[in-house]
Amino acid sequence: MWVELSLEVDPRDAELVADIVRQCCPNVAVEYRGPFALPEPWPAPAEASPALRATSALVRIYLPADEADARLRRSLRLALRFAPLARPARWRRARRLRDEDWQRAWQRRLRARRIGRLLVRPSWDTATAKAGEVAIEIEPGMAFGTGEHPTTALCLRALAELVRGGESVLDLGTGSGILAIAAAKLGAARVLALDIDPQAVRAARENARRNGVEGVIDVHQGTLTPGMTARARYDLICANIDGLTLERLAPLLARALGPGGRLVLSGFLSESARALAEAFSALGLRPLAELHEAPWAALVLEKADA
């Protein structure tokens, strides 16, 4: 038996609330009510920030019945009390679900998405690619999504514009492997996918196999190290992590990028974009584009040719 807990939130807060909840409850899905605006096609002006037109959003949490106790709910309420939300989250009445009902409910929340020239679909969705589209099939499991998080969608939008064929790519913090798979299916010659989480490594390898690109993608547990930057240079690096980690890794990321290479960064709030851009500019990377899906942002930077 499972329990579904639901939080009604401002659409601007949905992904932030989901990220907070995932710290102790990995089975989380976000559902937007009403029309919802995605960012304009890349590249967008740095000052452009899309309007969110959804009227409300639900963050749904799925827990085994024996884990959905009052102490957990109090912990979640306390964590959300100190979050910088546009308006307070409102709890809905909990629902009890049979095992088969909760699995169907989970799958209904994750559907195919079109992002640039990519069609990203969970394994149970039968959507087909249109002419000119590249299809990616992801088995999300419970800890990883299929591109529905705004930071992942922003990175996918950038990759769809940047990968033209033959590139060497590094995907740092690969998660389900979705960005590495996108790069490979768009034509990258080789992709190194890294994650410190062994569960992510297993998921990424399986998803690479599912998409027929296991021969292009090498998935390993770990992170970027000085030794790696001495051995290889990449045409394109994608790092969807968090702002503090990106700032700490900035010198290594800059060294790992080859002349004229491009760097896609995400995982941070819009208000942090300027400071991150300045940190990387000091290392010789000039900003090409800044993408937003409030409250998140992504940066595309370029290294000088020499």
Q: Which CATH class is domain 2-107?
A: alpha beta
User: Is pLDDT above 50 for 89?
Assistant: yes
Q: Looking at residue 23, what DSSP letter applies?
A: T
Domain boundaries, the chain: 2-107, 149-303
Instruction: Provide CATH code, domain 149-303.
Output: 3.40.50.150
119, 112 Cβ separation under 8 angstroms: yes
Q: Which SS3 state, helix, strand or coil, does residue 120 take?
A: strand
Distance CA 61, CA 53 (A): 23
Chain segment 27-70, per-residue pLDDT in tens? 787 777 655 444 444 454 444 344 345 577 888 888 887 776 77
pTM score, whole prediction: 0.76
Distance CA 162, CA 171 (A): 14
Q: What is the pLDDT of residue 211?
A: 96
Q: What is the pLDDT of residue 3?
A: 85
Distance CA 41, CA 31 (A): 23
* Mean of per-residue pLDDT scores for the chain: 84
Distance CA 266, CA 272 (A): 10
Residue type, 179: L
DSSP string, 278-296: HHHHTTTEEEEEEEEETTE
Distance CA 211, CA 73 (A): 39
